[in-house]
DNA sequence: CTTAGGG
DNA sequence: CCCTAAG
């Protein structure tokens, strides 16, 4: 076994609960929404906890923060995905799972369509696997979501899952940031259904740039078009699937509609307080968040093509462990090794501890404190190259776990109870051999990876990365292609998460809930700024004046090169005046990143491209991209100008005639 | 809600 | 990123 270093390119991020700001202005509304979100979050957690308690699922003895590898085995091809169903369904599974799965299902379909015959067989396998993964995630998701939200609110959203499904079907793309381009996940091409005609160029009605553009700007539209549209299928810069036309996408939208409706209609059920579950919450978007994602409205009312059914309903987690951005977002050895991923499933058991709220003094203060001692993730199937490094092992496991919890966690490796910090060491060098894996290897879930081992990645995009970072799933496919040269390690273990302590209040949706505190006791775990909690929690209806709660400024999330690349691609095609479309097209899955953000980013990009490299700061953006930024900016500005002077294309055409 | 711009 | 004015 030799190794290859791989840093854990992922950090957790918890996003400060925030109501989509698009609805700026109406603070009162925002407040209310946040409030609702918090309430729901707590209700959920409470529900989950309650269920578990009822089923006496507590494994008091589970040592927190550690996991044991119970089983290691080498397998051939794909992992056997055992779809062991969760035993403790926390709630209305049907609707819950369904909603969680839909996205993938749809995605897969389109992806498969896109694939070529020769890839068909493989595709099916993968498809199957993805499917299972999706299901698994859905299941786990429904059960863990509430908790997971504590760490990573966004990643739990449907969008996050979607990415994986697609990713697993993706060919092993070349290295480079492209691979992560978010647009690749957007199979749903707004352009295909968008009724809004392109603003500038008539020939652009199909979302294509005028041919002439090529000459003018120097960038190829074709590349963009094909690569982009076939997104989930191929690397944008790859010419491979050029011929592939995104028809499936359009279909997609259509297909989605019914599903969406289904989902929406599934809301009606009854449900008691005790029944209140995640799904329940989900079904009440209106209640939780009146202003759904901005992309929603238009969509819903117009074509239903969107599938954004969930809103973020988290408010507990907060940002933490933010890497200071800057250059450390790079994942090394990214494409170097193939192998990976997981399969997991299993039952989850979360030992809870319930104890009366001491301060229940407050009259009807029905607080209930729940202490989650640990989480158990029964089975995780991990595939790693024989020459995997500790780092890659961590990453792999992390990814598997993230897949379950939705991200926001880091994985630590313990050997004989001792933390193995050097990620660059090979398992062997670290003294871990096959035999060891059976009994002396352990994993720990760490909320924050600020220490060297697990490289820190700015919380950045949990959701974004989650969705666009197809690296992982991709990797997983590789082995298959290479006829699985690598051994597959089937690791079955328990993962104990740091305990969580929080207060939870009854689920009176109409009342104000105010979690006292949410925290985990492990160092560095999601420190929740009081503000955040207060934000959603306390919404003094009368306190007209300051409500800084809400005011929390969103955490800063530097755009990664991948994002920039996606942005550039989208703008090249759509122009600079259609941010909403750009958003939909390239950042549909990035819950954060509003179109305003994109617009702002573009603004800065243009600026950045104009200044000398020395003056630039932050993660350096490839000059190539900057050049494209300028080209696109120039081009679209020109178009803009053209239209301005009351020179309708037609008129011009006539003139020419 | 979206855009466009200034802060 | 935030905030606003406009559409």
| Stated length of chain A | 657
pLDDT at A21: 34
CA distance A441 to A221: 51
Residue in A587, A466, A586, A475 with CA at minimum distance from that of residue A10: A466
pLDDT at A410: 64
More confident residue, A165 or A127: A127
Residue A624, helix vs strand vs coil: helix
Residue A620, helix vs strand vs coil: coil
Question: Token match 């991200």: residue?
Answer: A407
Please check the confidence at residue A501 and state whether its pLDDT lies above 70: no
Q: Answer whether any strand B atom is within 7 A of the Cβ of A10.
A: no
Nearest residue, CA→C1' of B6 = A600
Q: Answer whether any strand B atom is within 7 A of the Cβ of A493.
A: no
Q: Which nucleotide is nearest to A27 (CA to C1')?
A: C3
pLDDT at A389: 75
- 8 A C-beta contact, residue A584 and residue A293: no
Residue A441: pLDDT band (50, 70, 90) is low
Question: Which residues sit opposite A69 in a β-bridge?
Answer: A493
pLDDT at A556: 92
Distance A578 CA to C7 C1' (A): 14
End-to-end CA gap in chain A: 72
Q: Which nucleotide is nearest to A24 (CA to C1')?
A: C3
Distance A579 CA to C4 C1' (A): 18
Q: Which segment of A187-201, A448-462, A472-486 scores lowest on mean pLDDT?
A: A472-486
CA R_g for chain A: 24
Nearest residue, CA→C1' of C5 = A25
Protein-nucleic contacts, chain A 535-594 to strand B, CB < 7 Å: 576-581
Q: Which pLDDT tens digit goes with each residue over A85-140? A: 322 333 333 333 322 222 222 222 232 333 333 333 333 344 433 444 344 334 33
- 8 A C-beta contact, residue A58 and residue A373: yes
pLDDT at A559: 93
pLDDT at A392: 72
Nearest residue, CA→C1' of B5 = A600
Alpha helices in A1-116 (DSSP H): 27-54, 93-114
Please check the confidence at residue A605 and state whether its pLDDT lies above 60: yes
Q: Which pLDDT tens digit goes with each residue over A32-72? A: 333 444 333 333 333 333 333 333 333 333 333 233 333 32
DSSP state of A389: B
Q: Answer whether any strand B atom is within 7 A of the Cβ of A389.
A: no
Please check the confidence at residue A186 and state whether its pLDDT lies above 60: no
Q: Distance between alpha carbon A435 and the CA centroid of its chain, in Å?
A: 35
Q: Which nucleotides of B are covered by protein (CB under 7 A)?
A: 1-7
Percent of chain A with pLDDT over 70: 17
CA distance A311 to A402: 20
pLDDT at A376: 59
The arithmetic mean of pLDDT across residues A210-215, rounded, is: 32
Tokens of A529: 């700024």
Please check the confidence at residue A240 and state whether its pLDDT lies above 70: no
Half-sphere exposure of A98 (CA within 13 A, CB side): 19
CA distance A498 to A361: 28
Q: Answer whether any strand B atom is within 7 A of the Cβ of A297.
A: yes
- The torsion angles phi and psi of A325, rounded to 5 degrees, stand at 45, -135
Burial class from Cβ neighbours inside 10 Å (0-12, 13-18, 19+) for residue A623 reads exposed
Tokens of A532: 């955040």
pLDDT at A284: 32
Distance A417 CA to B5 C1' (A): 57
Q: Which nucleotide is nearest to A196 (CA to C1')?
A: B2
Instruction: Label the pairing between strands A379-383 and A67-71.
Output: unpaired
pLDDT at A393: 73
CA distance A386 to A66: 24
Please check the confidence at residue A164 and state whether its pLDDT lies above 80: no
Question: Which residues sit opposite A383 in a β-bridge?
Answer: A488
Strand locations in A264-384 (E): 344-345, 352-356, 367-372, 379-383
Distance A601 CA to B7 C1' (A): 15
Residue A391: pLDDT band (50, 70, 90) is confident
More confident residue, A554 or A26: A554
pLDDT at A647: 46
- 8 A C-beta contact, residue A373 and residue A501: no
Please check the confidence at residue A3 and state whether its pLDDT lies above 70: no
Q: Which pLDDT tens digit goes with each residue over A336-371? A: 222 222 223 332 222 223 323 333 333 345 666 666
CA distance A288 to A284: 6
What Cα–Cα distance (Å) separates residue A480 from each residue in A8, A79, A404? Answer: 23, 10, 23
pLDDT at A549: 61
More confident residue, A257 or A593: A593
Question: Which residues sit opposite A414 in a β-bridge?
Answer: A419, A442
Residue in A137, A207, A146, A208 with CA at minimum distance from that of residue A167: A137
More confident residue, A262 or A612: A612
Give residues lining strand C (CB < 7 Å): A 18, 21, 24-25, 551, 553-557, 559, 592-593, 596-597, 600-601, 603-604
Q: Answer whether any strand B atom is within 7 A of the Cβ of A263.
A: no
Question: Which residues sit opposite A413 in a β-bridge?
Answer: A420, A443
pLDDT at A557: 92
Strand locations in A230-351 (E): 344-345
pLDDT at A642: 75
Q: Which pLDDT tens digit goes with each residue over A409-437? A: 666 676 776 677 777 777 767 766 665 56
The arithmetic mean of pLDDT across residues A293-312, rounded, is: 34
pLDDT at A517: 28
Distance A289 CA to C3 C1' (A): 21
CA distance A429 to A409: 25
Question: pTM of the full predicted structure?
Answer: 0.31
CA distance A655 to A491: 72
Residue A563: pLDDT band (50, 70, 90) is very high
Tokens of A409: 């966690």
The arithmetic mean of pLDDT across residues A195-209, rounded, is: 34
> Please, which residues have CB within 8 angstroms of residue A206's CB and are 6 or more apart in sequence?
A191
Q: Which nucleotide is nearest to A551 (CA to C1')?
A: C2
Q: Which pLDDT tens digit goes with each residue over A255-289? A: 333 333 323 333 333 333 332 232 333 333 333 33
The highest-confidence range among A157-161, A548-552, A580-584, by mean pLDDT, is A580-584
């Amino acid at each position: 076994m030799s190794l290859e270093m791989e840093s854990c390119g992922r950090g957790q991020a918890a996003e400060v609960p925030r109501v989509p700001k698009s609805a700026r202005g109406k603070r009162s509304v925002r407040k209310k929404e946040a409030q609702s979100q918090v309430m729901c979050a707590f209700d959920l957690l409470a529900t989950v906890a309650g269920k578990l308690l009822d089923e006496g699922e507590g494994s008091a003895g589970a040592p927190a923060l550690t996991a044991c590898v119970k089983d290691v085995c080498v397998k051939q091809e794909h992992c056997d995905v055992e779809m062991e169903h969760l035993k403790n369904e926390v709630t209305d599974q049907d609707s819950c799972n369904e909603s969680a799965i839909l996205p993938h299902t749809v995605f897969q379909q389109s992806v498969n369509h896109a694939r070529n015959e020769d890839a068909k067989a493989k595709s099916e396998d993968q498809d199957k696997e993805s499917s299972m993964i999706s299901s698994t995630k859905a299941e786990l998701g429904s059960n863990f979501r509430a908790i997971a939200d504590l760490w990573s609110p966004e990643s739990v959203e449907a969008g996050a899952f979607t990415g994986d499904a697609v990713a697993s079907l993706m060919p092993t793309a070349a290295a480079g940031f492209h691979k992560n381009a978010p647009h690749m996940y957007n199979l749903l091409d707004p352009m295909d259904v968008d009724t809004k005609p392109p603003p500038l160029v008539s020939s652009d009605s199909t979302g294509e740039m005028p041919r002439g553009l090529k000459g003018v700007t120097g960038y190829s539209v074709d590349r963009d078009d094909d690569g982009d549209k076939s997104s989930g299928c191929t690397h944008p810069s790859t010419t491979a699937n050029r011929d592939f036309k995104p028809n499936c996408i359009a279909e997609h939208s259509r297909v989605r509609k019914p599903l969406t409706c289904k989902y929406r209609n599934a809301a009606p059920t009854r449900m008691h307080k005790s029944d209140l579950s995640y799904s329940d919450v989900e079904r009440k978007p209106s209640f939780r968040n009146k202003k759904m994602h901005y992309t929603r409205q238009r969509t819903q009312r117009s074509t239903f093509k969107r599938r954004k059914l969930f809103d973020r309903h988290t408010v507990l987690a907060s940002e933490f462990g933010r890497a200071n951005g800057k250059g450390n977002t790079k994942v090394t050895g990214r494409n170097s090794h193939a192998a990976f991923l997981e399969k997991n499933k299993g039952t989850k058991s979360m030992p809870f501890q319930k104890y009366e709220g001491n301060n229940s003094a407050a009259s009807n203060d029905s607080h209930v404190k729940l202490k989650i001692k640990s989480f158990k993730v029964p089975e995780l199937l991990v595939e790693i190259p024989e020459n995997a490094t500790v780092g890659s092992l961590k990453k792999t496991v992390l990814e598997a776990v993230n897949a379950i919890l939705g991200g926001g966690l880091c994985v630590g490796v313990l050997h004989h109870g001792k933390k193995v910090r050097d990620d660059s060491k090979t398992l062997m060098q670290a003294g871990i051999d096959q035999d060891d894996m059976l009994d002396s290897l352990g994993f720990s879930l760490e909320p924050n990876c600020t220490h060297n081992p697990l490289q820190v990645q700015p919380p950045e995009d949990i959701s974004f990365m989650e969705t666009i970072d197809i690296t992982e799933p991709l990797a997983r496919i590789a082995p298959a292609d290479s006829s699985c040269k690598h051994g597959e390690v089937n690791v079955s273990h328990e993962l104990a998460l740091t305990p969580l302590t929080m207060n939870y209040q009854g689920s009176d949706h109409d009342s104000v809930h105010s979690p006292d505190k949410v925290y985990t006791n492990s160092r560095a775990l999601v420190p929740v700024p009081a503000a955040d909690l207060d934000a959603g929690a306390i919404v003094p209806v009368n306190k007209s004046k300051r409500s800084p709660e809400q005011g929390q400024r969103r955490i800063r999330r530097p755009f990664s090169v991948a994002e920039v690349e996606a942005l550039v691609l989208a703008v090249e095609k759509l122009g600079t005046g259609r941010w909403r479309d750009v958003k939909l097209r390239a950042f549909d899955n990035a819950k954060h990143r509003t179109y305003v953000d994109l617009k702002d980013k573009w603004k800065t990009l243009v600026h950045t491209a104009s200044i000398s490299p020395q003056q630039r700061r932050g993660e350096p953006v490839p000059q190539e991209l900057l050049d494209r930024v300028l080209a696109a900016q120039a081009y679209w500005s020109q178009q803009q100008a053209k239209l301005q002077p009351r020179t309708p294309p037609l008129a011009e055409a006539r003139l020419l005639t």
